[in-house]
């Protein structure tokens, strides 16, 4: 019995990953490395969470739709558009591409997309009355299911003439995601990535929301691990090839404190009403670094 409760195949048996190759030619050495790290006290995810090449192809097909929606939003978003218009665009695009929203009805969430304007940190509800105006910033967070595979990414859109400091917030948040990607190295701790994200934002004078983070994803919407962006370099699970997760810091111009709408239990705002920004990408760890799947 191995560290994660799975029984390893015999050396000449088919590998557990479904490749069809003999175990000794496929994942035997990989599994031995996991066992060694686990025996040393490292945090190691169960092998059921690592994605196979077939899984990655399925996720990419889902992500192509997810990114297509965000491209469409970018081509049509402008002052005068309501956030409910965006929700309709999303539903129409998904239906036309044989996919569905992962957001809709997830833990009771009632819409197909999250639209978070200005001081809304996340989970903003689409609304006919929320009409975009010149100077707004908005995060559109898309999550798609296609053929059983989940993809997830979000982008910021600046509407018209945005305050330079607000635009710096948006740009810094994006730069921090890029710093996080650069820190994704196989067989290193996940905390190194989170620390890289945090440092970019802190050095720019912005704060990262602590209670929300990224997550594993692929066969389910939210899988382990929780991905912190205020972590220490020596914290978190080992980034093992096949591990698929999101990098999605929520960055506030003011303090990190937030409030959640008491009526709907979803919409999160900055406690000091300063603007907030978020970019999200989805990746899989590889033997040499990472592969970006959705952005």
* 49-77 per-position pLDDT tens digit: 999 999 999 999 999 999 999 999 999 99
Q: What does the pLDDT average to over 259-275?
A: 97
The verdict on residue 41 lying in a domain is no
Element (H, E) at 248: none
Phi-psi region of 88 (alpha: psi -120 to 50; beta: other; left: phi over 0): alpha
Burial classification of residue 98, based on how many CB atoms lie within 10 Å of its CB (0-12 exposed, 13-18 middle, 19 or more buried): exposed
CA distances from 233 to 194, 218, 226 (A): 8, 25, 15
Q: What are phi and psi of 200, to 5 degrees?
A: -60, -45
Output the pLDDT for position 27. Answer: 95
Q: Where are the alpha helices (DSSP H) in the chain?
A: 28-39, 53-76, 83-96, 164-182, 190-203
pLDDT at 39 over 80: yes
Percent of the chain at pLDDT exceeding 70: 100
Output the pLDDT for position 26. Answer: 94
Output the pLDDT for position 162. Answer: 98
The verdict on residue 5 lying in a domain is no
Over residues 207-256, the pLDDT tens digits come to 999 999 999 999 999 999 999 999 999 999 999 999 999 999 999 999 99
The verdict on residue 16 lying in a domain is no
Output the pLDDT for position 56. Answer: 97
The verdict on residue 121 lying in a domain is yes
The verdict on residue 184 lying in a domain is yes
The verdict on residue 37 lying in a domain is no
Percent of the chain at pLDDT exceeding 90: 99
Evaluate whether 258 touches 270 at the Cβ level (below 8 Å): yes
pTM of this prediction? 0.96
The whole-angstrom separation of Cα 285 and Cα 11 is 26
Q: What are phi and psi of 12, to 5 degrees?
A: -100, 5
The whole-angstrom separation of Cα 151 and Cα 147 is 11
The verdict on residue 288 lying in a domain is yes
Output the pLDDT for position 23. Answer: 94
Domain count, the chain: 1
Output the pLDDT for position 235. Answer: 96
The verdict on residue 186 lying in a domain is yes
What is the domain range of residue 220? 53-294
Q: What does the pLDDT average to over 180-206?
A: 98
Output the pLDDT for position 84. Answer: 98
Over residues 98-129, the pLDDT tens digits come to 999 999 999 999 999 999 999 999 999 999 99
pLDDT at 1 over 80: no
- C-beta neighbour count of 285 within 10 angstroms: 25
The whole-angstrom separation of Cα 60 and Cα 43 is 27
Residue identified by tokens 């195949």 is 9
Residue identified by tokens 């798609």 is 144
For residue 148, give the CATH number of its domain: 3.90.230.10
Over residues 84-103, the pLDDT tens digits come to 999 999 999 999 999 999 99
């Amino acid at each position: 019995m191995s560290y994660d409760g799975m029984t390893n195949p015999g050396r000449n048996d088919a590998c557990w990953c479904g490749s069809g190759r003999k175990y000794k030619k496929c994942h035997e050495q990989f599994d031995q490395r996991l066992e060694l790290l686990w025996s040393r006290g490292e945090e190691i995810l169960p092998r059921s969470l690592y994605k196979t090449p077939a899984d990655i192809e399925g996720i990419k097909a889902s992500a192509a739709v997810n990114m297509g929606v965000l491209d469409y939003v970018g081509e049509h978003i402008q002052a005068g558009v309501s956030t409910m218009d965006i929700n309709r665009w999303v539903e129409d695009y998904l239906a036309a591409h044989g996919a569905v929203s992962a957001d809709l009805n997830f833990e009771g969430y009632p819409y197909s997309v999250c639209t978070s304007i200005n001081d809304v940190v996340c989970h903003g509800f689409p609304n006919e009355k929320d009409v975009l105006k010149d100077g707004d910033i908005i995060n559109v967070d898309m999550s798609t299911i296609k053929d059983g595979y989940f993809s997830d990414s979000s982008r910021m859109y600046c509407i018209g003439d945005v305050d330079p400091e607000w635009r710096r917030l948006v740009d810094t948040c994006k730069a921090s995601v890029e710093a996080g990607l650069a820190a994704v190295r196989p067989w290193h701790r996940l905390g190194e990535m989170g620390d890289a994200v945090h440092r970019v934002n802190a050095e720019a004078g912005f704060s990262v929301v602590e209670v929300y983070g990224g997550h594993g994803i692929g066969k389910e919407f939210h899988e382990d691990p929780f991905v912190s962006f205020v972590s220490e370099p020596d914290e978190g699970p080992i980034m093992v090839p096949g591990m698929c997760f999101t990098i999605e810091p929520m960055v506030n111009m003011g303090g990190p404190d937030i409030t959640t709408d008491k009526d709907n239990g979803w919409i999160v705002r900055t406690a000091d009403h300063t603007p907030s920004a978020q970019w999200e990408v989805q990746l899989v760890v590889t033997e040499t670094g990472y592969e970006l799947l959705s952005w």
